[in-house]
Amino acid sequence: MTKIKTEQVKNYLLSLQDAICAALEEQDGERVFSEESWEYHGGGGGRARVLEGGHVFEKAGVNFSFVKGERLPASATAKRPELEGRSFQAMGVSLVIHPDNPFVPTSHANVRLMVAEKDGEEPVWWFGGGYDLTPYYGFEEDCQHWHSTAKTACEPFGESVYPRYKKWCDDYFFLKHRNEPRGIGGLFYDDLNEWPFERCFEFMQAVGNSFIDAYIPIVEKRRQTPFSEQHKQFQQYRRGRYVEFNLVYDRGTLFGLQSGGRTESILMSLPPLVRWNYNWQPEPGSEEARLYDVFLKPRDWVNEPEVLR
């Protein structure tokens, strides 16, 4: 029988939350995260941390949760009906960062472990997670750095891992009703149990630990870029796509709401200011149009021979 080391995973997730919050506070230099602990009705709870109105980050949320329930919600059994009716444990760290400067991209990441249990049967477990980047004004070198860091994190686990999880990310973070991707992707994986538990846990740690290396250098490079009200309005318009995805498609949001999780923590991913302009189109040849023409399409960022500008 597989030994599921939930306490070890929980301790790692708490330390990851601490490390990411410390790195973001250092970048912001003005505000720190507020913290609120909460309890889950079925057992367990979480530690929500939010930074708002900072010098660099308009809103950043980094949440830890560890919850238990008597019955897996529908979002968790839709593709695995054989697990319907099982009790569950779910733990993870999930974060969304909405910078103030439109030249700094929004970023999302999460890593998680799910365990489905039934009396008399061996528990079924799997890992999931990843991270993705949502720029408003694109820079090829940032995209290449982001994907190169993701690829480096995956390399110890096999040559096929990065391309497989990059494609999964491109496919997952796609707004079907808009026929466009949310951003430039990264990594996405779910139902990971193809390796022994310890190896899958090592992969979770590789992904989680690489997030700071992937994101912080981009923040440092772009946070001082001058911007106008037009840049800010375009950022807020594109944030609308972020809201649409999270409320319509995102599995984590659906799981949290269906399982009766803490609503404030689940919806901390939403940006503070958003706009929807009816049938808006960017001016041809503008920097806003360039986001659509150059960045909002799948590209092999790691292997492109040179940076185009």
Q: Stretch 34-46: mean pLDDT, rounded?
A: 86
* Residue 157 neighbours by CB under 8 Å, 6+ apart: 195, 199, 202, 203, 206
110 is in an annotated binding site: yes
Q: Stretch 142-156: mean pLDDT, rounded?
A: 98
Report the distance separating Cα 277 and Cα 183, nearest Å. 19
Residue ranges of the alpha helices (H) in 92-196?
Answer: 140-154, 161-172
Per-residue pLDDT at 134 exceeds 90: yes
Q: Taking each helix axis from N to C terminus, what angle separates 197-222 and 6-28, rounded to the nearest 10 degrees?
A: 0
Q: Which of the given ranges, 37-41, 212-216, 300-304, has the highest pLDDT on average?
A: 212-216
Segment 68-127, tens digit of pLDDT: 887 776 666 666 777 777 888 899 999 999 999 999 999 999 999 999 888 777 888 999
177 is in an annotated binding site: yes
112 is in an annotated binding site: yes
Question: What pLDDT, on a 0 to 100 scale, did the predictor assign at position 78?
Answer: 63
Question: What pLDDT, on a 0 to 100 scale, did the predictor assign at position 75?
Answer: 66
Question: What pLDDT, on a 0 to 100 scale, did the predictor assign at position 309?
Answer: 39
Residue ranges of the alpha helices (H) in 223-267?
Answer: 229-248, 251-258, 263-266
Q: Stretch 156-177: mean pLDDT, rounded?
A: 97
Per-residue pLDDT at 261 exceeds 90: no
Q: Stretch 162-171: mean pLDDT, rounded?
A: 97
At 223 the three-state DSSP class reads coil
| Among candidate residues 253, 269, 260, 254, the one with its CA nearest the CA of residue 45 | 260
At 115 the three-state DSSP class reads strand
111 is in an annotated binding site: yes
Question: What pLDDT, on a 0 to 100 scale, did the predictor assign at position 229?
Answer: 97
pLDDT-above-90 percentage for the chain:
74
Amino acid at 143: C
Q: Tokens for 209?
A: 């630990």
Report the distance separating Cα 142 and Cα 238, nearest Å. 19
CB 35 within 8 A of CB 47: yes
Of the pLDDT bands very low, low, confident and very high (cuts 50, 70, 90), residue 299 is very high
pLDDT-above-70 percentage for the chain:
95
Kindly give the pairing relationship between strand 180-181 and strand 106-117. unpaired
Q: Stretch 12-29: mean pLDDT, rounded?
A: 98
Of the pLDDT bands very low, low, confident and very high (cuts 50, 70, 90), residue 192 is very high
Domains of the chain and CATH, by start: 6-295 (3.40.1500.10)
Cα–Cα distances (Å) from 222 to 153, 202, 216, 263, in that order, read 24, 32, 10, 32
Question: What pLDDT, on a 0 to 100 scale, did the predictor assign at position 72?
Answer: 76
Report the distance separating Cα 255 and Cα 9, nearest Å. 20
Of the pLDDT bands very low, low, confident and very high (cuts 50, 70, 90), residue 237 is very high
Which residues are tagged catalytic? 108
98 is in an annotated binding site: yes
What's the whole-model pTM score? 0.92
Segment 50-64, tens digit of pLDDT: 999 999 999 999 999
Per-residue pLDDT at 307 exceeds 60: no
Of the pLDDT bands very low, low, confident and very high (cuts 50, 70, 90), residue 171 is very high
Q: Stretch 282-309: mean pLDDT, rounded?
A: 85
41 is in an annotated binding site: no
303 is in an annotated binding site: no
Name the DSSP letter for residue 202: H
Bigger pLDDT: 254 or 216?
Answer: 216
CB 293 within 8 A of CB 114: no
End-to-end CA distance of the chain: 54
